[in-house]
Chains A and B, each alone.
Chain A
Amino acid sequence: MDDMKIYQKIFYSLSTLAMMGACQNASTPDARPSLSGLTNNVILATYDDLADESQTLADTLTALCSAPSQETLDAAQEKWSDVRSLLKKVEVVSFGPYKDSDYDAKLDFWPVRTNNIEEAILQYDSFSSSTLVLLGVSVRGLPTLEYLIFGETGDADVLASLTSQDRAAARCALIVAVGSDVAENTEALYQEWAATGDNFAGVFSGAGTNDLYPTQQSAMTEAVNQMAFLVELVKDTKLGKPLGYRSGGTPQPSQAESLFSSNSVQDMVDNLEGLKSFYTGSYGEISGSSIYHVVAQKDAYIAGVAVDYIDDAIAAVKDIPEPYTDTVVNQPATAELAYEKLSLLKALVSGPISGLLGVTPYFNDNDGD
């Protein structure tokens, strides 16, 4: 009988606690506003801009091939850089349609396979969408365009290749076709996210109400892991490999991203600025809620330190002189400093940030304690 009373007491206590919790829940901030802010203010906005700018790039490329000149070439190169910047800023969103529908390969396959591009120019006089699909991702996307409009030996040779050299018409046809392909793909990518399209934005920001993200936690896990992946990608692949970290210290300039446009460092800066937007929820003039705000609810200090670490990493990367292909050979110390800053950022994201958000790193965890 005494035991029965104790059980009753335990039951009533637990029930009271649960009710207290349920009451508190109504006023407890959750991750939904942050997921929504991240999705609408940052991801969708960037994808929208990317699609718009890609269309402008396609138009600029058409103009270039209609009347090849230094002026039209400059315009095309400038627009390519704008689009490139947006694509790098949104590279942290390497999940959802970007991966599932292979936009990463369609838009940003690298290192560039110049032989494939030159063979395609020799083989075809014109390029339809289906021709590009047939040729594969090594003849599509921004890196291919970069090779075609920046070239290996300067603007004069590029202009010559579009006017007086053999297969100039085919080369131009490829430039226009790849430009259109990029515009179509960025628009399709946007539509897969947009509410007016396939509404992946609704799936991600509506985490907790669908099978793909059964809990808000699962969406937050996705987001934070993407942050960690991006830092690792920049650190190990974009910065470390050209430095020769994987090849006995012998620099490997050919491993740098955006070789022909000497845009390697800017690519990394854009990657990290995109990461900052992703974390803080601020993009352009818009400032909203994002991962930072969830972290800050639990530990404002760590939330702020993360911003500092990202800024430190951006500053360190900005200090690397372009072209990166020369830097890795002649003055690697600046890149090595940036590498250290990125290591620290990676440890922060994988450690306290993940911990505060209760994020499970993507590992094959066995059960355990």
Chain B
Amino acid sequence: MGLSTTSTLAQTVPSASLAFFRICFGMMMFFSALRFLAKGWVDELYIKPEYFFPYYGFSWVKVLPGEWMYVPFVALAIFSLMIALGMFYRVVTPLYFLIFTYTELLDKSNYLNHYYFISLLSFLMIFLPLHRHWSLDVYFKITTKVQMPTWVLKVLRLQVGLVYFFAGVAKLKSDWFLEAMPLKFWLPANSDYPLLGPLFLLPWVPIVASWFGAIFDLTIPLWLSLKKTRVVGYAMVVFFHVFTGTLFQIGMFPWIMMVSALVFFEPDWPVKFWNTLRRVIKRAPLKSASSDPQAGSVVVDSPSKKQRNFFYVRALFSSISRPLQWVLALFFLVQILLPLRHHLYPGHVLWTEEGYRFSWNVMLMEKNGTLEFVVVDPDTSQRWVVPPSDYLKPYQVKQASTQPDMILQLAHHVADDFRSKGHPRVEVYVKAMTSLNGRLPQALIDPYVNLAQETLSLKPKKWIQPSPAP
């Protein structure tokens, strides 16, 4: 990460862009929470299901009873609005992180990369003083208006850059590069897309789109980091995310990334932008950037007397404390290692999905399958064929049908259910036929392994059938 030297990181920069990021983040999360409530997703995803897939090590995280599940989402709406307003920011950000992450840990079926990204951002925001500008905390003098230490900006840039970079690394697979999968499936299905739609039917377009997508992800942090290419880079960010956002159902993700990528701009860009806008609209004279201590390029902690009189600027965070350095170093080390952990497992990550989550594997596969459990009571020789829909909602069935760890968890749940019905030595076998990226369906799980006896762990799952040929 960018923990180069303490002196560099101790420099301060105008806080406008960071405040802008906070406001946008808060507002997006506010509307996201409202949307979640309005669309009835709390009921659908957290109240109606009878079974939830816990994450490894987090089985102790449970849903609240019945309608109480609305409480966290109402709290998220309120807290996100408070973050946007910069109101009791220091108290609210940890709460927001905890509650948001709690809702995400409840059920693996609901895993989305952008939810994970929000958890990461909200965790970082606990340590980032983004409320020191354009906030109610400043207005009510709960805190003081200051410039930001450079490291705050760099931390956010690093986080956003890592998402793009590893999303690009994840695309370096033969399916993506050579077969143009899954875009070869997805693009022609959108041939009614305005203007560009007819192009999607052309055979070379998915190939070009796949290559562009990978190169975009891998290089966009660089484009955004260099001053000369930043504007073009951001234009590409907007095009890419608007394009994919309108093409595919990816919810808030494009908007979050478009806002997040703005942190690569000069830290005073909102002020300059506002001044330019004002001049255009009112033909008002351009306010000198240098007259606003929040504007301008990187400055060292030496505000003039005049600036102090006008804006009461103080740089409180002249350096990162040693514990925080460790926290951030560990945080980013984990961020770098998690996307690479799939190399520790045999087989193709898209097939086994061991090390798949939390690795920025974004829109990489079209995976469908059928799943059935064969339950055998060796004491009575009884045999049942149990569809997952006996225990799951349709959206959970779709997720569980192709993800081995979820299949194992559900097998255990099925076994528990049959044990409770008087079959103490029940055996659970799986028939799962899976098609990955257009290949013919083949068995995902060894049908002769009694999954009731297999334990869930981080070790490689030997009962996953070999990956299909490339």
Q: Hey, which bits of chain A sit against chain B, CB under 8 A? A: 3, 6-7, 10, 14, 17-18, 20-22, 24-25, 28, 30, 208, 215-217, 236, 240, 244-250, 298-299, 302, 305, 343-344, 346-348, 350-352, 354-359, 361-369
B1 within 8 A of A: no
A6-B232, A245-B384, A246-B384 known; A347+B433 contact, CB < 8 A: yes
Structural contact, B198 and A352, CB atoms closer than 8 A: no
Interface centre among A17, A18, A21, A365 (most CB of B within 10 A): A21
A347-B433, A347-B441, A357-B189 known; A366+B384 contact, CB < 8 A: no
Contacts of B201 in A (CB 8 A): 21, 24-25, 28
| Interface 9-residue window, one of B213-221, B363-371, B403-411 | B363-371
Give B314 Cβ to nearest chain A Cβ, in Å.
Answer: 36
Give A269 Cβ to nearest chain B Cβ, in Å.
Answer: 22
User: Who on chain B is nearest to A214 by CB?
Assistant: B192
| Interface 9-residue window, one of B15-23, B95-103, B393-401, B458-466 | B393-401
Q: B249: which of A20, A25, A351, A365 is its contact (CB, 8 Å)?
A: A365
User: Who on chain A is nearest to B374 by CB?
Assistant: A245
Structural contact, A352 and B382, CB atoms closer than 8 A: no
B387 within 8 A of A: yes
A-B contact pairs, 29 of them (CB 8 A): A6-B232, A14-B196, A17-B196, A18-B196, A21-B195, A21-B197, A21-B202, A22-B198, A25-B198, A28-B201, A217-B192, A236-B387, A245-B385, A298-B188, A302-B440, A343-B370, A343-B431, A343-B433, A346-B370, A348-B441, A351-B440, A359-B189, A363-B397, A364-B44, A364-B394, A366-B112, A367-B249, A369-B253, A369-B362
Q: Hey, which bits of chain B sit against chain A, CB under 8 A? A: 41, 44-45, 110, 112-114, 182, 185-186, 188-192, 195-202, 231-232, 235, 248-253, 362-363, 366, 368-370, 372, 377, 380-385, 387, 393-395, 397-398, 431, 433-435, 437-441
In the bound complex, how far is the Cα of B362 from the Cα of A356, in angstroms?
A: 20
Contacts of B113 in A (CB 8 A): 369
In the bound complex, how far is the Cα of B147 from the Cα of A45, in angstroms?
A: 76
A347-B441, A351-B435, A355-B182 known; A249+B235 contact, CB < 8 A: no
Give B382 Cβ to nearest chain A Cβ, in Å.
Answer: 4
In the bound complex, how far is the Cα of B113 from the Cα of A250, in angstroms?
A: 45
User: Who on chain A is nearest to B367 by CB?
Assistant: A351
Sort A-B residue pairs by CB-CB distance and give the 9 closest, nearest first.
A358-B189, A351-B435, A367-B251, A347-B441, A21-B199, A245-B385, A347-B433, A21-B198, A248-B382
User: Who on chain B is nearest to A17 by CB?
Assistant: B199
Q: B398: which of A7, A20, A299, A363 is its contact (CB, 8 Å)?
A: A363
Give A240 Cβ to nearest chain B Cβ, in Å.
Answer: 6
Give B112 Cβ to nearest chain A Cβ, in Å.
Answer: 4
Give A63 Cβ to nearest chain B Cβ, in Å.
Answer: 45
Structural contact, A352 and B439, CB atoms closer than 8 A: yes
Structural contact, A249 and B440, CB atoms closer than 8 A: no
Contacts of B381 in A (CB 8 A): 249
Contacts of A305 in B (CB 8 A): 440
User: Who on chain A is nearest to B114 by CB?
Assistant: A369
Contacts of B363 in A (CB 8 A): 369
In the bound complex, how far is the Cα of B236 from the Cα of A7, in angstroms?
A: 10
Structural contact, B235 and A358, CB atoms closer than 8 A: no
Give A359 Cβ to nearest chain B Cβ, in Å.
Answer: 8
A343-B370, A358-B189, A369-B112 known; A363+B395 contact, CB < 8 A: yes
In the bound complex, how far is the Cα of B235 from the Cα of A305, in angstroms?
A: 44
Structural contact, B199 and A24, CB atoms closer than 8 A: yes
Give A209 Cβ to nearest chain B Cβ, in Å.
Answer: 12
Contacts of B185 in A (CB 8 A): 355-356, 358
Interface centre among A7, A246, A357, A364 (most CB of B within 10 A): A364
**Main secondary structure on A side of the interface with B:** helix
Structural contact, B41 and A351, CB atoms closer than 8 A: no
Contacts of A236 in B (CB 8 A): 387
In the bound complex, how far is the Cα of B397 from the Cα of A362, in angstroms?
A: 12
Contacts of A217 in B (CB 8 A): 189, 191-192
Give A43 Cβ to nearest chain B Cβ, in Å.
Answer: 23
Structural contact, A367 and B250, CB atoms closer than 8 A: yes
Give B346 Cβ to nearest chain A Cβ, in Å.
Answer: 23
Give B386 Cβ to nearest chain A Cβ, in Å.
Answer: 8
Structural contact, A350 and B369, CB atoms closer than 8 A: yes
Give A354 Cβ to nearest chain B Cβ, in Å.
Answer: 7
A364-B395, A367-B251, A368-B112 known; A21+B368 contact, CB < 8 A: no
User: Who on chain B is nearest to A221 by CB?
Assistant: B189
A361-B398, A369-B362 known; A347+B369 contact, CB < 8 A: yes
In the bound complex, how far is the Cα of B390 from the Cα of A314, in angstroms?
A: 28
Structural contact, A365 and B395, CB atoms closer than 8 A: yes
In the bound complex, how far is the Cα of B192 from the Cα of A368, in angstroms?
A: 21
Give A207 Cβ to nearest chain B Cβ, in Å.
Answer: 11
A20-B199, A366-B41, A368-B251 known; A355+B438 contact, CB < 8 A: yes
User: Who on chain A is nearest to B41 by CB?
Assistant: A366
Structural contact, A347 and B368, CB atoms closer than 8 A: yes
In the bound complex, how far is the Cα of B201 from the Cα of A22, in angstroms?
A: 11
In the bound complex, how far is the Cα of B249 from the Cα of A130, in angstroms?
A: 49
In the bound complex, how far is the Cα of B368 from the Cα of A346, in angstroms?
A: 10
Structural contact, A215 and B395, CB atoms closer than 8 A: no
User: Who on chain A is nearest to B188 by CB?
Assistant: A358
A346-B370, A350-B370 known; A355+B435 contact, CB < 8 A: yes
Structural contact, B44 and A347, CB atoms closer than 8 A: no
Structural contact, A240 and B434, CB atoms closer than 8 A: no
In the bound complex, how far is the Cα of B188 from the Cα of A188, in angstroms?
A: 37
In the bound complex, how far is the Cα of B439 from the Cα of A30, in angstroms?
A: 24
Give B367 Cβ to nearest chain A Cβ, in Å.
Answer: 8
Structural contact, A248 and B198, CB atoms closer than 8 A: no
Contacts of B114 in A (CB 8 A): 369
User: Who on chain A is nearest to B377 by CB?
Assistant: A248
Contacts of B433 in A (CB 8 A): 343-344, 346-347
Contacts of B437 in A (CB 8 A): 355
In the bound complex, how far is the Cα of B363 from the Cα of A343, in angstroms?
A: 27
Contacts of A6 in B (CB 8 A): 232
List 10 other contacts, CB 8 Å, given A3-B231, A347-B368, A369-B253.
Answer: A18-B198, A21-B197, A21-B199, A24-B201, A249-B384, A250-B382, A348-B435, A354-B368, A367-B112, A367-B249
Structural contact, A28 and B441, CB atoms closer than 8 A: no
Contacts of B398 in A (CB 8 A): 361, 363, 365
Interface centre among A7, A14, A363 (most CB of B within 10 A): A363
In the bound complex, how far is the Cα of B252 from the Cα of A354, in angstroms?
A: 26
Give B411 Cβ to nearest chain A Cβ, in Å.
Answer: 17
User: Who on chain A is nearest to B375 by CB?
Assistant: A248
In the bound complex, how far is the Cα of B198 from the Cα of A21, in angstroms?
A: 5
In the bound complex, how far is the Cα of B44 from the Cα of A365, in angstroms?
A: 11
Structural contact, A363 and B431, CB atoms closer than 8 A: no
Give A234 Cβ to nearest chain B Cβ, in Å.
Answer: 14
Q: B440: which of A3, A250, A352 is its contact (CB, 8 Å)?
A: A352
